[in-house]
Structure 1
Amino acid sequence: MTNPADPRAWTAGMTLAERRWLIGDLETQATYGQRVLVLAESGDWAQVVVPGQPTPRHEWGYPGWLPKVQLTDGRSFGHLAGRPFALVETPTAWLYDDPRRTRRAMELSYNTRLPVLARLDRAVLVATPSDGPKWLAASDVSVYASAADIPRPTGPELVAASRMFLGLPYLWAGTAGFGFDCSGLTHSVYAAHGITIPRDAQDQANAGTPVTREQLAPGDLVFFARNNGTGRVHHVGMYAGDGYIVDAPTNTDTEESGVEYVRLDEHRYAHEYAGARRYL
């Protein structure tokens, strides 16, 4: 438990049993530099909510506890909130200490947003919460004046973004390029394209516009539920077109799962299909 956290090292050292143990014990994930709201403190831990991750559990965002050491009272960083920001659009991207990008400082996830201080042809200088100015490769990010300036995506663009993560091992509560759970993948891909949808699968299934199976189009979300599709939703994937979906299926007791591209009618949960929703 460090500040900044090192999710790459954390996930790389996990056994399958340890990944399975996380199920039900982790809540969600906030990316580096993301604002959270502190609700309570207890010893070395703080209860926070993550704005931008809608849930019925709290009106301000997704709730959970995290070590206080991973929080920064970045008041000077917060004052930069109105500046243009760099949005990471690759699965992960490195922060560097120098504009030539020879000295790596920290690996960031997809959908990380940091305020821009300066731009060169091949590098972007960004502010960090507590580590001073750092550089990103210009090819890893897009720079926007505000979140409202992120172009509205097409369905195929959402699918292409999801497919960048094929093979990435499943991580319960993950919302980052180091590992996703099923709804973390769909939520994060939409978020990186400027569209906020609920954080969890059941809530994603309750929002959006209902779509019949015959009307499915790329970018639609498809859902699977207990009791042969009639019970509580437990899984979500993104329809990719031509009868395929992209999804992050959970690990089993004996097999680690990765983000996959699979036919909808051949999916492990095909018999639990429970409908689809459109957010475009």
Structure 2
Amino acid sequence: MTIPQKQWLVGKTETQALYGQEVVVLKTSGSWMQVVVKDQYSPKNKAGYPGWVPSSHIKASFADYGQCATTMVKAPIANLYHSETTARPFMEISFNTILPVLDVQGNCVKVQTATDGAKYVRKQEVRVLEKGSKIPVPTNRDILATAKMFNGLPYLWAGTSGFGLDCSGFTYSVYKQHSIDIPRDASVQATHGIAVKKSNLQPGDLLFFAYNNGKGNVHHVGMFIGNGKMIHSPKPKKTVEILSIDAEPYRSEFSGARSYLK
């Protein structure tokens, strides 16, 4: 997408759902469906994050692979392939995309898509989770390593993927990779977790910024990385970046911090 196309999305889109991600259909109107993304917590709807999508973007799948191992994409972007030779790409899929595993063949994992049949992904780009296994509890260093993978990624309003991230989509997605579910929006992230004083910040803690010199509504979130710096996805025309937490307007707009690791 071009920068003007990305800017057009500002205020018009709510969030992003990944390939194969489960949604609940609330209602249909013409060629549009109102759905909720189940894995994205929001007080807007108890079932998940709500929004409207073209009906053509939603496909029904009745397959049950609940007893299978699963893959979670750990690279910013990975390719799905038609065969284990990886000679013919099928499509790109994002960071955090989860698909059932059918088989592990050498350097490839055979996965089942919801509507496009069996495909293959390079083993090095995913983590394979056996049924019932859990992702290890992350350390501060684990969270930062994941966050820094996106340094330089262009901002995308409502983005929650390796194709583009907004500020809260960035923090939400980084924690999601480590099986820690936090709310989707910055204003809600600022009310969950454990409050942390600015003097006690630890790497991985989330920093919140609000209008009216930090006393108004929360409008932005970043992640503390230590040494007085944070990493964040600031706004259209910019990329994920690292900067001082004392840079303006962030110094003046700081409104609090939260930990999701304690």
TM-score band by shorter chain is over 0.9
Q: Which digits, 9 at most, give the CA deviation of each residue in 1:144-188, with x for residues without a partner?
A: 124761111111211111111111111100000000000000001
1:163-202 matches, cutoff 5 A: 163-202=148-187
Instruction: Tell me if structure 2 keeps the 8 A contact 1:156–1:240.
Output: no
The number of aligned residues is: 261
1:257 aligns with 2:242: no
Q: 2:16 maps to which residue?
A: 29
Q: Which amino acid aligns with 1:24?
A: G
Distance 1:36 1:213 in 2: 37
Q: 1:6 maps to which residue?
A: none
Q: 1:269 maps to which residue?
A: 250
Q: Which digits, 9 at most, give the CA deviation of each residue in 1:25-83, with x for residues without a partner?
A: 1000110010000000011111000011111100010000101111111112xx01332
Q: Which amino acid aligns with 1:266?
A: A
Structure 2 unpaired stretches of 5+: none
Aligned partner of residue 234 in structure 2, secondary structure: coil
Q: 1:247 maps to which residue?
A: 232
1:43 aligns with 2:24: no
Q: 2:47 maps to which residue?
A: 60
Matching residue within 226, 232, 235 for 2:220: 235
Q: 1:127 maps to which residue?
A: 112
Q: Which amino acid aligns with 2:53?
A: L
Matching residue within 42, 45, 57 for 1:70: 57
What is the Cα deviation at residue 129 of structure 1?
1.3
Distance 1:89 1:220 in 2: 21
Q: Which amino acid aligns with 1:61?
A: G
Q: Which amino acid aligns with 1:83?
A: C
Instruction: Tell me if structure 2 keeps the 8 A contact 1:39–1:48.
Output: yes
Q: 1:81 maps to which residue?
A: 66
Q: Which amino acid aligns with 2:123?
A: A
Q: Which amino acid aligns with 1:224?
A: F
Q: 1:5 maps to which residue?
A: none
Q: 1:17 maps to which residue?
A: 4
Structure 1 unpaired stretches of 5+: 1-10
Aligned partner of residue 36 in structure 2, secondary structure: strand
Instruction: Tell me if structure 2 keeps the 8 A contact 1:85–1:114.
Output: yes
What is the Cα deviation at residue 268 of structure 1?
4.0
Distance 1:51 1:112 in 2: 14
Percent of aligned pairs with the same amino acid: 46
Instruction: Tell me if structure 2 keeps the 8 A contact 1:147–1:194.
Output: no
Aligned partner of residue 206 in structure 1, secondary structure: coil
Question: TM-score, normalised on structure 1?
Answer: 0.91
Aligned partner of residue 27 in structure 2, secondary structure: strand
Q: Which amino acid aligns with 2:147?
A: S
What is the Cα deviation at residue 205 of structure 1?
0.2
Q: Which amino acid aligns with 1:34?
A: Q
Q: Which amino acid aligns with 1:69?
A: S
Q: Which digits, 9 at most, give the CA deviation of each residue in 1:63-108, with x for residues without a partner?
A: 00101111111112xx013321100001000001111211111101
Distance 1:146 1:188 in 2: 22
Distance 1:178 1:111 in 2: 12
Q: Which amino acid aligns with 1:171?
A: L
Q: 2:143 maps to which residue?
A: 158
Aligned partner of residue 212 in structure 2, secondary structure: helix
